[in-house]
Chains A and B, each alone.
Chain A
Amino acid sequence: MPEAEPREYSGFPVSGKPAKARAVMDWTKTISAKAGGAHIGAADLTADLARRYAPDLLLLALYGLAFAALHWAAHPWGGGGFFSLWYPAAGLRFAALWRRGLAITPWLMATELCVDAMTGALPLTGSGVIHDSISIMRPALAYAAAIAIARSMAGRLSGHRGESGSEPVTAAPMRLGIAALLAPVLNALMFVPLELALPPTAGPSAIRVQLVVSLTGLALGDLLGIIVLAPPLLSLARFYRSAERRALTMPGWRLLVPGAVILGASMWLTVALWRAGLGAQPTPLLLAGAWIGLRHGRTAAWFTILAVVALFLPYSAGPLGDGERLNLHLSLAAVAIVTWLSGCYADTQKIAEDMLARRNRLLFQAERLKTLRAMSVAVIHEISQPLSTLAIEAGHLKSRTADLDADIAQSAALVDRKAHTLSELVRRLRRFGGRSVDEPSPLPLCMLLQSSVQMVAPELRSAQCQLVLAPVPPDLTVHAQEIELSQALVNLLRNAITAAADRTVRMSTQMRGDDAVIRITNAVSARSAPPSASGAGMGIGVIIARTIVEAHGGMLVRDDEPGFVHMVVSLPLHSPRSGTET
């Protein structure tokens, strides 16, 4: 390759000349205009835009700065045909894409273009400007594609469970691992078709000779950069975003020591072999990395990789031949890949085990609830038998003693009244517990809502909470199993009561098309972070509610707005034609 210092991103040579930068310039101008406009904030629209996009703009600005710094920091590991064999900026790019979603891809491309234009890495004049711009934009595109592929692959493997809305919880670490390996490879692979499609800028022969070395260097640099930099950035972002601090709990000494010993020993062995003149042998570190990754998961794997990289990078930054450096980094990459994938694998296993344990607990709880229900049903029935006698006799006593002296009459009346209250209570209780084997039947919504409210009344009192029940349209009827559905509503109401910041829970009902929509709303204080912060047991209650609602052909959606949480239950309305006689 003719150039003394080849360009980054691509590893393909640059010869910049005539001014064809119009399009790119216009684009960057539009973006900076947008950014500028947002800061004026005169009109409402602009202010609104600023509020909505300010975090993203800030992120992009930070991204640009960090990108430039990391890009510069990579230059000591450069070589012929590639920019650097250790390219941490790739890790930054990957982390940004993984965290903020693929929609940010064009903005990252634009930011990188801006940065390169400002630092002079992208000459704005010259014949190769389009060529160069495209090669600058390519990596972000390749990374986005890799992430999309890894996500869809994992989604397909785990069936429909992956997209059940609770993605951050169930996201398999394996997805991240696969994406991290796939991204640099795709980046290198996309080089060839792009290069063929574009007008050649350098002698074709030069490219072909160096192609393999160039692509290997590119992939290696990106790979190392991603594996070393992306995980801590991502966990930092997660730490900043939410209260998931448990991710930072340190493993105990007992776990830490053997890992450290093994790592130390293998490092010593590597260095010893090296000194003995056998060259940099990756095997001991490979084995150690695999062991640590499988045993302790991603965090330990990452620290191992960091240690290994810290051992070799200063050396490989020194005056070494390109071939030697490439060799060294190949070994380094092998160690990193093996360690990283074993860590991801171990974490995935761990999550799967946790999920299984969680399911078991749920199952156990369901079993216990069933027993409890059977018991309470039995109690209700046992009570109703003697109560029948009692109520009738009390009524008789009352009517016979009515004209006796006031004291006796009063006592008898009291006994009669209490017996009636008890009978009423038993009848009402039986409606929840007694018909456990019932078929689903047409059920007026107002009845369902009222019984749910009755059931949470004690909790409302003890939480000093107020429940505002909007009037229910009386003609709304659903085809449902009353006990189950009121259980679902009770679960949702309980959560709302626990989370209500202003001690008020609202419940309203309306008709939307062929559905009845029940909306349970509570205010949340700005501080309490989204779903998991609202106290223990929240998860299971919502899961049960969702299962029940879906079993009735309905849907449970969480529909938040700033300061408020809405749980929205929609149920298909009962059509009278399909009515069953009861």
Chain B
Amino acid sequence: MTIQSPHAAPPPAMVAVLDDDEDLACTIARLLIRHGFAAQAFFDTATVSAALDRQVFGCLVSDIQLGTTDGFAFAESLRSRVPSLALVFMTAWPTTTHAVDAVRRHGGLDYLEKPIDTDRLVSAVSEGLNWSERERRILTLTALFTRREREVFDLLVRGHSNKEIAERLAISARTVEDHRAAIVAKTQTNGLAQLIALSRGEGTPPLPR
């Protein structure tokens, strides 16, 4: 059911649309594809779980009531497996408590009432994909470092000097300088400003060596 959009220049992350109403799931997937996203429709939780192992999803658009399964719980379980998955919820039974929960507790980006407002859906999904991409960059970046390097990096981008970092981590300033050199080498950056931009998910992450 995957249809790649011709416009998307870099291969964008996939959007998963999950609803137990098959027609609606397909319709939304097609709508998203028309708007330039790569989208795939799913009708049950098992298929989504399986697909998550095979490819990268940036965003999940999910119904809250999936037959007997709770959409919130399922989305959260996916999030624990893929931390960079953006969540957008939709429902035919909107309540205020759900709306608040969707955003606060379950980390959803938006909570859409059916009948779906198309513009809102599209903007939520594109926002979700952006967020997801940023998250992924940061994750890729930090995956390069050793544990010590990550600690030094975190303090560096918060504006601490080498000396302060050395005091905090109880290591010598010399060692900090070594770690710093390794970080710069691994990220192929020059200067603190670029490191900070990287820590915010901006700029292109280095290709893994």
Contacts and interface: CB of A to CB of B under 8 A. Distances in A.
Interface of A: 381-382, 384-389, 391-393, 395-396, 422-423, 426-427, 430, 434-435, 437-439, 441, 581-582
B99 A387 contact: no
A482 to B, nearest CB: 11
B80 interface: no
Contacts of B93: 381, 434
Contacts of B27: 388-389, 392-393
B96 A385 contact: no
B113 interface: yes
B94 interface: yes
Contacts of A392: 27-28, 31, 116, 118
A395 B99 contact: no
B24 A389 contact: yes
A145 to B, nearest CB: 58
A396 B34 contact: yes
Nearest to A422: B115
Contact of A391 (B21, B95, B96, B116): B116
B143 interface: no
Nearest to B28: A392
Given A381-B92, A426-B115, A434-B94, 11 more contacts: A382-B92, A384-B92, A384-B115, A388-B114, A388-B116, A389-B24, A422-B115, A427-B113, A427-B115, A435-B94, A435-B96
Interface in B114-152: 114-116, 118
A387 B117 CA distance: 12
A439 B99 CA distance: 13
Nearest to B99: A582
Interface string B34-77: 10000000000000000000000000000000000000000000
Interface residues of B, number: 21
Given A389-B23, A389-B27, A437 B114 contact: no
B100 interface: yes
Nearest to A439: B96
Given A395-B118, A430-B113, A582-B100, A388 B24 contact: yes
Interface of B: 21, 23-24, 27-28, 30-31, 34, 92-97, 99-100, 113-116, 118
Nearest to B20: A385
A582 B30 CA distance: 32
Given A392-B118, A396-B31, A427-B115, A582 B96 contact: yes
Given A392-B27, A396-B34, A581 B100 contact: yes
A395 B28 CA distance: 12
11 contacts: A381-B92, A385-B92, A387-B114, A387-B115, A388-B115, A389-B23, A391-B116, A427-B113, A427-B115, A434-B94, A581-B100
Contacts of B21: 385-386, 389
B147 to A, nearest CB: 39
B96 A438 contact: yes
B115 A391 contact: yes
Nearest to B115: A423
Contacts of B115: 384, 387-388, 391, 422-423, 426-427
B74 to A, nearest CB: 19
A582 B95 CA distance: 10
A399 to B, nearest CB: 9
A347 to B, nearest CB: 50
Nearest to A420: B115
Contacts of A395: 118
B78 to A, nearest CB: 23
Contacts of A426: 115
Nearest to B104: A581
A385 B24 contact: yes
Contacts of B30: 396
**4 closest residue pairs by CB, A with B:** A423-B115, A388-B114, A388-B115, A384-B114
B169 to A, nearest CB: 40
B92 A435 contact: no
Contacts of A387: 114-115
A221 B202 CA distance: 105
Contacts of A385: 21, 24, 92, 114
Contacts of B23: 386, 389
A382 B113 CA distance: 13
Contacts of B116: 388, 391-392
Nearest to A391: B115
Among B30, B99, B116, residue most surrounded by chain A Cβ atoms (within 10 Å): B116
Contact of B95 (A382, A393, A437): A437
Among B92, B99, B118, residue most surrounded by chain A Cβ atoms (within 10 Å): B92
A438 B95 CA distance: 7
Contacts of A382: 92
B17 to A, nearest CB: 12
B36 to A, nearest CB: 14
A62 to B, nearest CB: 65
Nearest to B117: A423
A430 B94 contact: yes
A392 B100 CA distance: 26
Contacts of A434: 93-95
A447 to B, nearest CB: 15
A431 to B, nearest CB: 10
B156 to A, nearest CB: 37
Nearest to A426: B115
A381 B114 CA distance: 8
Nearest to B96: A582
A28 B28 CA distance: 92
Contacts of B24: 385-386, 388-389
B31 A435 contact: no
Nearest to A380: B92
A421 to B, nearest CB: 11
Nearest to A430: B94
A395 B34 CA distance: 12
